[in-house]
Every structure is written in C-alpha cells, then in structure tokens.
A and B are shown apart, each in its own frame.
Chain A
Amino acid sequence: MKSFAVYDPGDFYDELVDSSGMPRPGARLLVEKIESLPEGDLTLRQKAAEAMLLKMGITFNVYGRDEGTEKIMPFDIIPRIVPGNEWKQIENGLKQRTFALNEFLQDIYNEKKILKDKVVPEDLIFTSRTYRKECEGFTPPRKIWCHVTGTDLVRDRDGRFYVLEDNLRCPSGVSYVLENRRVLKRTFPQVFEASHVRPVDDYPTKLLEMLEYLVPPHVQSPTIGVLTPGIYNSAYFEHSFLSQQMGVELVEGQDLVVAEGFVHMLTTKGLKRVDVLYRRIDDDFIDPEAFRPDSLLGVRGLVGVYKAGRLAMANAPGTGIADDKVIYAYVPKIISYYTGEDPILPNVPTYICRNDEDRAYVLAHLDQLVVKAANESGGYGMLVGPHAAEAERAAFAEKIKAEPRNYMAQPTISLSRVPTIVGDRLEGRHVDLRPYVLFGKDIYVQPGGLTRVALVKGSLVVNSSQGGGSKDTWVLKEI
C-alpha cells in the first residue's frame, strides 16, 4: 500500500506535503523512499527504532511499582523537515529575541529603564512569582542571564511560525534531539545523506564552550559540572547524557558543600573547588538559604558564593520573570525597546486578563480560546477552550476572575501537522518545535530542535506528560 497516496493532509498546514498532497520540495526524497518500501516495512523500522531507544536506556521510569515499569519517550520515525530558507528566518528571530530578553533581565534587576519608560507595567514585574528580589543590583558574569533557552514555536494554518512561549529557566529535551537523530540516521540512512540535513551533534561542544566562557578570570584549570536533582528526576537521562558528552562532572546537591567562600565537590581525595555549574534545578530549590528553606536538592550557601563572583552558573537565578506567560505578551515591545527593530518572529496574539477589556473578551469567548496560567509549564494549568467541557470552562472563568494577573489567553492555533505512523498507515498529527539557543560569546541556535507531536488524534497538547511524543527535525542546508 502506498502510504502517501492515501494520506490526507486535511485542512491544516502539513509540514511534508502541500494541500494537494504533493511532497514539499525538501520532503520529496523522503516521501519517495517511504512509497518504495515493501508493505509492513515502515512498521518494522518504527519497531526497530523503539527497540534501539529502549536498549540505550532512554526511558521514563514509573517508580514505586514492583515491575519497575519503564517506557521510552514515544518517538515517531517520520521526521519533520524544515527548508533552509525558513530556518534562516527562525534563527535570526531567535537570536534577536534571546538578545532582547537578556537585555530585559539585566535592566529590570538593575536600572529598570523599561519600567520607568512604561513599556512594561511595573506592577506586573513585582507581582510575578518568578521575580527574584535577591537578584536586584546583581550583574552575572559577562552580563549573561539566559545561557540556555528553549523557545516553543508553532506554525499556523497560514504557514507562518509564531512564538508560543519562552523557556528561560531549565528547558529540557535537547538530549532527545541528539538521540532521535542517532536513531533516525539508522532508520533512513540513504535519504538522510541525500537530503543534506544540517548536523545537530555539536550542541554539547557549543554548550561546553559557553560554560567555559563563564569561568571566572582568576581560574586556571576550571572544574565544570552539571547539577542534577538526581536519578528520580524525569530529565535525569539528559543531565547525565550532557555531562558525559561534555566530559564534565555530574553532581547532585549532596555532592556539594560551601566552605571557605567557595563551592566544593566531595571527592575520594577530599574537597575540590567547582567553578561553573550548569544547573538543572529550579531557582526555588537551588539553595535552602536563599530560596525555599525546605529544599533537600540544593546546596546551602550556593547563591552567596555565586553573588560573590566565585562561582558561575547557567542559567542565572531570576530568569523566570522573562518567561512569565503574561510578560510574554510584552516581548514584541521588549524586542523593539532594546534593539530598535521589529520582531522577526511574531507572537501569537494574546489577551492579558488583567486588562479589563481583554478580560471581558476572554470570559465571553472561552470556548474559542486557550487560557494559560502565568507560571505553569508542562501543559498544566491550561484550558483548551474548544476541547473543554462546559463545567471546566466555568471553573476556569472563576479562576480568572479571582486572579486576573495570573492568566492570559490566546486564540486556538491550528498547529501544523506531520504524517505520523498510526497502526499500518500514516495520519496527520499536530506538532510544535522547540529549538535550543545558547548565549555565550555569541548566540548560537542549534539547527533543528525538538519536534513534539501530539499523538492523540486531534489533540493540540504536545507535552510528554500529556501523551506527546517526539520526532527528528531535519533542517536542510540552503542550496
């Protein structure tokens, strides 16, 4: 059976075929290859890829059960393909946006010019749960706050990319980009080679270079570490993978102590000073002395050492204010304010519930909108209006009225789709795209990123905690 001959792109933007079902230019080789496979072969390749991921131990754990159930992160072997010229636009847009958000962070924790100029309302900043008063007056090494950013992009029916949200705290998923690629190279080796796909493998090297750039000047041979909450964290695989690929230490809070004004690791030969930490623990938990006193994951006194300039850290504490989902609505203005340019990548239109007019509109159109809480992630604290029951919408309306500052709403975007294996055929499933951006000596955007796919038919929620999976993302060389 010819999979694509019967494939229906539907009334959506399809990443591989156009509305008449013909392959888009960059996808022609892949589509031809899939069409030439003998019956059942595609399913076999999918199974082989899953077996490979299981063997590599790229699994989520379900702990507390006898069987020790483990699942691989769902993965679909049909890649998403992004042509080189489209990517160029995304890359420039992300560089512009990351630069501006970093300026914004430096500004609001110091001079607060943007607030004085009333571009962003002052009270919005000070009422955000992720604003860190402890960071006021502080400038991190090299003036960089958001070293690692994962920006979620979506493509609407009109074929344009929009920024859906910014993640400037501890964005995860980049290890899946690298491992998905490893698997897919074995799944479609010839097509991969012939398609001129840009490599993603130098991400760990770029990450290491960025971390090295932060080393305090007095340090000769620095010790760099990845700080993880430990093996029970769902992203543990990634922490371990990145530290292995960079050849740096992987440390937990229990491995570190503060002594004589520095952070040290407990080693078999005594204490060893640590100079740079890529921390994958949220602000709240990183230091019981500075933030949440009940945290067992962090290191007492760590933030003090950091502020004294004796430890560099990526990302800096306090970056969460820039990915507050209400602040998000102001990012286009923030970009123009700091760069004097128009934003290259547009935002999704956003209604801010604290504005009376917007709120009235939102409450009257809940059945058409997606409502999000300011500081939730992973698909939680969210209402997808068109798919929600009447009772859910009513409950959400009450929440919005009770705490308008904490909510924003957006029209439901018809996320683009990619053909995905369902049983023995292909069906369109909605996707988003999370590219990873590193801010060191300069700003680097990994050519690719994580394509997350909502595996449930018709679903728009791509988060892995809500039934999402992933795909490899092929960014093609510009020819």
Chain B
Amino acid sequence: MLSRVANSIYWMCRYIERAENVARFINVNLNLLLDMPSEKGKHWEPLVMITGDQLLFEKHYRDFGQEAVMHFLTFDRNYPNSILACLAAARENGRSIREIISSEMWEHLNHFYLELADARGAALALEDPHRFFRIIQMRSHLFTGLMDCTMSHGEAWNFARIGMMIERADKTSRILDVKYFMLLPQADLVNTPMDNIQWTAVLKSASAFEMFRKQQHHITPRNVAEFLIFDSQFPRSIRHCVSKSQVCLHRIIGSSPGSAQNMAEKLVGRLKSELDYTDIDEVIQFGMHQYMDSLQKRLNQVDTAIGGTFFNLKPLVETSTAEQ
C-alpha cells in the first residue's frame, strides 16, 4: 500500500487512542475527587504531567485548577494533544484515506468530531462532565469496533493496530509513572500502608480495576505496577500492547515471529523479549521512573523505525526521463 496511506492510518488510530486516554484520565480524576473533596486543589496538575506538556500549559494558563486543566486537555485547539485537536487530526488523516477505511468508520469519526466541535459539546462538558467523558471513551471504542468488523484485516488494518498499540503502551506507562511519583515519593516503600482509593484510581485510569481483581486480591503499588506492565492478557498492559504490535508487524512484512528483517522488527522484538524476561522486582530495584522513562524512549524509537521502514521511503530518483 502507499506509504502516505500507511502513515495516515497509523496516525489516525494513534490520535483516537490518545483522545480516549485523555478522556479516561479526566474522568477518573473527577471520580476520585468526589471521594476526596479536600484534595481538590492538588489533583489536576498530575493530569498535565501525564501528558508531558507542563511547559505549554504554564505558558497559557495561570493555575492548575479544574476548569483550566479540563479546558486545556479537552477543547484547546492550540494544544496539539487536546481531545479536540487529536480528533481533528484523526479526522484529517481519515479524510485523506477515506477510500481505504470503511464508510462506517469515516462517518463515525466525522460525526464524533463534529459533535465534539459543536458548542453543545462544551456545554455538556461543564454540565455533566462524567457523562461527557464517558461518551468520548465509548465513541473511541465504537470506532475500534467498527474498524474490527467493517474493514478487512489486511495491511492497512495492521498499521492501524500498531498505531493504537504503541500509543496505548505509551499512555499506560505515563499513568503509572506519574502516579508512582505522586503517591510514593520514596519508591522503595513496597507494601507500605497506602491510600487504597488512589491506587484503585490508577487502575481505573487504565480500565483495569476489575480485571486486576481477578488476578490479584491486594491492591499494592507493586501489584498494580506488575499488572499494568507485565500482564500478558490484559489489553492495556504494556507487554500486551508491545506483543500485539509485534504480531501486526510480522503480518505486514510476512515474516515469522522471532525473525527480523528491518529496524522496526528488531526494536519491537527486543522490547518484547525484555518485557517477557523481566519482573516487577527488578523494575522497582532499577527505579520505576527510570524504567518508565526508558520504556517511553524505546517506544519512540520503535515509532521512528516504523516511519523509516515504511513511511519515509526515499528512492534514488533518476533525473532524466524516459527516452522519447
């Protein structure tokens, strides 16, 4: 398929996944604050930290109040990672590959964006934020479902999946990183008494609470981190996302698992093996923040390698035309 098309579908899905994750963070935070009204002032800054865009925020907003942060993350068109900006970008990418994706996907994405951009969207966000952010998540899920059921699982679909998985892995690592930093300033305190509510919130940010409960009974920082990084079956764990990216990559190239023909396959393969053969105690020893930081860097390298391998093809072009 065309490199430009592969690039567009990859980014379309990354942007939608990004928008969904931002909505998820905000919603969980809103829920959390209902239980802890006294904490209200402190709990919005970490949301901006998760995105890694504090500097940009501080440039345009005065304080980390609920309204400012929610506006920044949801409706700020000048902030490229706000939900609205992500959806606008996803839609522009979608528009440029309308002939590749199914009409159902395009029409849904179009509708998703138009409703969000409508003034009534902003009104609902203020009036009933829980419902508003819930709708965003559900629409993202609907998009994923439509992609799954109305589009052939060929090359384009596999690129879409990789975009989604890389983005999701990155976001899960950021949630964990920030919450760990906030809740456990001294990272060696394993199994200390901790705030059960807050760690539940971390799990909920990744829609992981119920599935976690089925695996582990005690909500400890260690267990939560282990689940979100290493669980092999939970669809938002980092390991699962990397593993699925690898599968899609092999499908695109037609190579068998365990082999690598290009930089993208090599880097994904190495990351996958490391996640397969590392445990949570080693991570804690290494330092949670350091580990998350290196994971994010490596996910970025994978992204760059995918770009170099598939999207930015620069052939040697003859300057002379055909003989006449």
Q: Does residue B301 face the partner (Cβ distance < 8 Å to A)?
A: no
Residue interface bits B72-110, CB-to-A below 8 A is 1, else 0: 000001000000000010001001101110010011001
Q: A384 vs B192: C-alpha distance in the bound complex, in angstroms?
A: 85
For B318, list chain A residues within 8 Å (CB).
258-260, 301
For A260, the chain B residues whose CB sits under 8 A away are 318
Smallest Cβ-Cβ distance to A268: which chain B residue: B310
- The reply on A379 being an interface residue by CB < 8 A is no
Q: How far is the CA of A289 from the CA of B324 in the complex (A)?
A: 14
Query: Which stretch in A4-12, A123-131, A195-203, A248-256 binds the other chain?
Result: A248-256
Q: Are A68 and B4 in contact (CB under 8 A)?
A: no
* Surface stretch bound by B, among A32-40, A49-57, A354-362, A455-463: A49-57
If A259-B318, A301-B321 touch, does A249 touch B98 (CB 8 Å cutoff)?
Answer: no
- Chain A, Cβ-Cβ closest to B253: A269
Q: Which residue of A lies closest to B4 (CB)?
A: A255
The stretch from A302-310, A343-351, A418-426 touching chain B is A302-310
A-B contact list, 19 entries, CB within 8 Å: A54-B114, A56-B107, A56-B110, A57-B107, A68-B88, A240-B96, A240-B98, A249-B2, A250-B99, A257-B317, A258-B321, A259-B318, A267-B3, A267-B313, A268-B1, A268-B155, A270-B313, A301-B318, A304-B321
Alpha-carbon gap, A54 to B117, bound state (A): 14
A258/B317 in contact, CB under 8 A = yes
Contact A257 B322 (CB under 8 A): no
Whether a CB of chain A sits under 8 angstroms from the CB of B193 is no
Known: A305-B322, A308-B324. A57 touches B2 (CB 8 A): no
Residue numbers of A with Cβ under 8 A of B are: 54-57, 66-68, 230-231, 236-237, 240-241, 243-244, 249-252, 254-255, 257-262, 264-268, 270-271, 289, 301, 304-305, 307-308, 310
Interface string of B189-202 (1 = CB under 8 A from A): 00000000000000
Residue of A nearest to B110 (CB): A57
* Residue of B with least CB distance to A271: B315
8 A-B pairs with least C-beta separation: A304-B321, A244-B99, A261-B322, A301-B321, A268-B310, A57-B110, A308-B322, A240-B98
| B323 is an interface residue with CB less than 8 A from chain A | yes
Chain B contacts for A271, CB-based, 8 A: 315
Contact A66 B77 (CB under 8 A): yes
Q: What residues of B have a CB within 8 angstroms of the CB of A268 in the complex?
A: 1-3, 6, 155, 159, 252, 310-311, 313
- Which B residues are CB-close (under 8 A) to A261? 321-323
Extra inter-chain contacts (10) besides given A268-B2, A268-B159, A304-B322, CB under 8 Å: A57-B106, A68-B117, A240-B95, A251-B2, A261-B322, A262-B322, A266-B313, A268-B311, A268-B313, A270-B315
With a CB–CB cut-off of 8 A, which chain A residues contact B1?
A: 267-268
For window 282-324 of B, CB contacts with A under 8 Å fall at 310-311, 313, 315-318, 321-324
Taking the complex as formed, is B40 at the interface, i.e. its CB lies under 8 A from any CB of chain A? no
Question: What CA separation (Å) do A68 and B103 show in the bound complex?
Answer: 22
Residues of A within 8 A of B213 (CB): none
Cα-based distance from A155 to B317 in the complex (angstroms) = 52
- Please indicate which of the listed interface residues A230, A231, A310 has the most CB atoms of chain B within 10 Å of its own CB: A231
Nearest CB in chain A: distance from B94 CB, A: 9
Return chain A residues, CB-CB under 8 Å to B100: 244
Chain A min CB distance to B1 (Å)? 6
B322–A255 CB distance below 8 A = no
Contact of A254 among B4, B6, B92, B107 (CB under 8 A): B4
- CB-CB contacts of B1-35 with A at 8 A, as 1s and 0s? 11110100000000000000000000000000000
Inter-chain contacts of B2 with A (CB < 8 A): 249, 251, 255, 265-268
Q: Would you call B131 an interface residue if the criterion is a C-beta within 8 Å of the partner chain's C-beta atoms? A: no
Q: Determine whether the beta carbon of A307 is less than 8 Å from that of B324.
A: yes
Complex-state Cα separation, A206 to B281, whole angstroms: 65
Among A250, A260, A268, A271, the one with the most B-chain Cβ atoms within 10 Å of its Cβ is A268
- For the complex formed, measure the closest distance between the CB of B109 and the CB atoms of chain A, giving whole angstroms: 9
**Alpha-carbon distance between A268 and B155 when the two chains are bound, in angstroms:** 9
Chain A residues within an 8 Å CB radius of B99:
240-241, 243-244, 250
Q: Is B111 an interface residue (CB 8 A)?
A: yes
CA distance A469 to B83 in the complex (A): 34
Give the residues in chain B near A237, CB-CB below 8 Å: 98
B95, B317, B323: which contacts A308 (Cβ < 8 A)? B323
Docked CA distance A254–B96 (Å): 13
0 or 1 for each of B129-172: is its CB under 8 Å from A? (1 = yes): 00000000000000000000000000100010000000000000
Residues on the B chain within 8 Å of A67, using CB: 117
Which residues of A lie under 8 Å from residue B159 when comparing CB positions? 268
| Smallest beta-carbon distance B101→chain A, Å | 9
A255–B77 touching, CB < 8 Å = no
- A257 to chain B minimum Cβ distance, whole angstroms, is 5
In the complex with contacts A67-B117, A304-B321, A55-B111 CB distance below 8 A:
yes
Cβ of A54: which chain B residues have Cβ within 8 Å of it? 114
CB neighbours of A264 from chain B (8 A):
315
For B101, give the chain A residue with the smallest CB separation: A244
Pairwise interchain contact B322-A231, C-beta atoms closer than 8 A? no
Partner of A257, one of B88, B311, B315: B315
CB distance B315 to A304 under 8 Å?
no
- Interface pair A57/B315, CB less than 8 Å apart: no
When distances are taken between beta carbons in the complex, the residues of chain A under 8 Å from B111 are 55
Give the complex CA separation of A271 and B95 in angstroms.
24
User: Given the complex of chains A and B, what is the CA–CA distance between A243 and B98 in angstroms?
Assistant: 9
Interface residues of B in 110-134 (CB under 8 A from A): 110-111, 114, 117
